A and B are shown apart, each in its own frame.
Chain A
Amino acid sequence: MTAHADAEILSAYLDGELPEGERRATELHLADCPACRARFESLGRAVASLQRLERAAPPAVLAQHVQRRIALAGSRAGALDRLEDRLRGLGTASPLLTLFAVILALASILYLFAHGIERHQRRSVPIVVPNPEAARQLNEALAQTEPPTVRAGGRLFTRSGDRWLERGLERDEAAGALAPTVTAADSPAGRELLGRLPWLGDLLAGAGGAVFRDGEAIVEIRGPTATPPPAAH
Chain B
Amino acid sequence: MATAVVTAFVYESDLEIAERHRHGDAAAFDEIYARFAEMVYNLALRLASDPDEAADLTQEIFLRIYRHLGRFRGGSSLKTWIYRVALNHCRSRLGRRRPPTYSLTPVPGEPPPDVADGRRGPHERAEAGDDAERVAAALGRLATSFREAVVLRDLEGLSYQEIAEVSGVPVGTVRSRIARGRDQLRSMLETSR
Interface residues of A (CB under 8 A from B): 7-8, 10-12, 15, 17, 42-43, 45-47, 49-59, 62-63, 65-66, 69-70, 73, 81-82, 85, 88-92
A contact residues around B41 at 8 Å (CB) = 56-58, 62
Per DSSP, chain B at the interface is helix
Complex CA distance for A7 and B38, rounded to whole angstroms:
32
**Chain A residues whose C-beta falls within 8 Å of the C-beta of B67 in the assembled complex:** 73, 82, 85
The answer to whether B45 touches A56, judged by C-beta atoms less than 8 angstroms apart, is yes
Of the candidates B95, B183, B190, the one whose C-beta lies within 8 Å of that of A11 is B183
Seed contacts A49-B132, A66-B58; 16 additional CB < 8 Å A-B pairs:
A7-B182, A7-B183, A8-B175, A15-B160, A43-B182, A50-B154, A53-B132, A54-B117, A54-B120, A59-B118, A63-B33, A63-B37, A66-B33, A70-B29, A70-B63, A91-B88
Interface contact B154-A47, CB-CB below 8 Å: yes
Chain A residues in 8 Å Cβ range of B150? 50
Expressed in whole angstroms, the minimum distance between the Cβ of B100 and any Cβ of chain A is: 17
B22 at the A interface (CB under 8 A): no
Contact between chains at B190 and A66 (CB < 8 Å): no
Whether, in the assembled complex, B112 has its beta carbon less than 8 Å from a beta carbon of chain A, the answer is: no
Residues of B within 8 A of A53 (CB): 116-117, 132, 135-136, 155
Residue of B nearest to A95 (CB): B168
Q: Which of B29, B37, B139 contacts A58 (CB 8 A)?
A: B37
In the complex, what residue of chain A is closest to B151 when comparing beta carbons? A50
- State the majority secondary structure of interface residues on A: helix
B118 near A57: Cβ-Cβ < 8 Å? yes
The answer to whether B190 touches A42, judged by C-beta atoms less than 8 angstroms apart, is yes
Query: What are 22 residue pairs bridging A and B, where the CB atoms are less than 8 Å apart in the complex?
Result: A8-B176, A43-B182, A46-B186, A51-B154, A52-B131, A52-B135, A53-B135, A56-B42, A56-B45, A58-B58, A62-B58, A66-B59, A66-B62, A66-B63, A69-B59, A70-B62, A70-B66, A82-B67, A85-B60, A85-B63, A89-B88, A90-B92
Write the chain A residue with the least CB distance to B125: A54
B23: Cβ under 8 A from any A Cβ: no
Nearest CB in chain B to that of A54: its residue: B117
Across the interface, B179 reaches (CB within 8 A) one of A11, A59, A63, A82, namely: A11
Distance (whole angstroms) from the CB of B90 to the closest CB of chain A? 10
User: In the complex, which residues of chain B have a beta carbon less than 8 angstroms from the beta carbon of A62?
Assistant: 37, 41, 55, 58-59
Chain B residues with Cβ below 8 Å from A92 are 85, 88-89, 91-92
CA distance A46 to B188 in the complex (A): 10
